[in-house]
Amino acid sequence: MSKSKKNTIDPENIILNYGADSARLFILSDSPPEKDVQWSEEGIASSFKFIQKLWNLNKKILDEIKKDHEKDSDLELEKYTNKFLKKVTDNLENFSYNKIVANLHEVYSFLMKQTNVSYTKNTLIKNYEKILITMMPVIPHFSSECLNLINSNNIKWPDYDKNKIQEEIINIVVQINGKKRGLIKTTPDISENDLFNIINKDEKLIKYLDKQIIKKKIFIKDKLMNIII
C-alpha cells in the first residue's frame, strides 16, 4: 500500500472485519519494514485463519494444563521454548518482523505436536507463558487474552537459557571444491583435525579424496568443511 500510488486500504474496515491482531500479523508478514505493504484479501484472510488456529491450540494447551500430569515425558518443550525465545529476540533486534511471523508458524507446528506429549502443569504454564509474551509485539490482543486464561501477571520479556539451546548433535556440510558431497553428524565444537579424520573414514566421502592432493581446507566451525583438491 502506498499513498503515492493512491492504493491505500482503510485500516478501520480491516480491523472491523478481521480484528487488529490479524491486521498487524498481515502487515508484518508481508514484507520488511522498509517496503510498502502489498495488500491482498487472501493475505489478510490467511492471517485471520492463523490466529483462529492459534486459539484452537490454546484450548488444547489449557486442556493439557488441567490434566496436570505427574511428570514430564521429555525435555523438548523447554529446549524448543528457549530456541524460540532466542530467534524472536534476535529478529526483533534486527527489525526482521516478517521472520518473527515465520517463527510463530514454526512454534504453532511444534506445540500442536507436543499437545500429545505429557507435561506437568508447571512445565506447560512456565514455557507457554514465555512463548505468549514473545508473541505480544505481533499479536498483543491474542497474547494478553491467553495470558489472562493461565492467570499470568508476570509480564516481562523472558530471557533464554543458552545452555538449553546447545545442540547435542549437529550436521556439518562437507564440500569438495565447493560442491556439497555429504553431511557429518557430530558433537558441537569439534576441531578441524578431528572432523577431517572423520571425513577420511567416511565411505561416501573418501572416494573423492583418495590419492588426491589437498591444496587447502576451509573450515567454518560447526557448519562447514570445504576441501580444495
Q: Which residues contact 48 (CB under 8 A, 6 or more apart)?
A: 18, 19, 22
- pLDDT for 137: 93
Question: So where are the chain's domains?
Answer: 11-163, 170-228
Mean pLDDT, consecutive 10-residue segments, the chain of 229 residues? 52 72 84 61 88 96 94 92 94 90 95 94 96 95 96 88 76 93 88 92 88 91 92
**Is this prediction's pTM over 0.75?**
no
- pLDDT for 80: 94
- pLDDT for 133: 96
- C-alpha cell at position 185: 553428524
- pLDDT for 1: 46
Per DSSP bridges, beta strands 224-228 and 170-176 are parallel
- pLDDT for 2: 46
Domain made up of 170-228: CATH architecture: Roll (3.10)
Instruction: Give the type of residue at 156.
Output: K
- pLDDT for 113: 94
- pLDDT for 13: 66
Separation between Cα atoms, residue 107 and residue 221, nearest integer Å: 27
The CB-based long-range contact list for 156-161 (8 Å cut-off, 24+ gap) reads 157/89, 157/133, 158/85, 158/129, 158/130, 158/133, 158/134, 159/85, 160/81, 160/82, 160/83, 160/85, 160/86, 160/89, 161/82
- pLDDT for 132: 97
Q: Nearest 5°: phi and psi at 228?
A: -100, 125
Give 11-163's CATH code, choosing from 3.40.1280.10, 1.20.1420.30, 1.10.730.10, 1.10.3720.10.
Answer: 1.10.730.10
For residue 170, the cross-strand partners are 186
| Residue closest to 39 by CA, chosen among 70, 63, 18, 60 | 18
- pLDDT for 34: 57
Same fold: 11-163 with 170-228: no
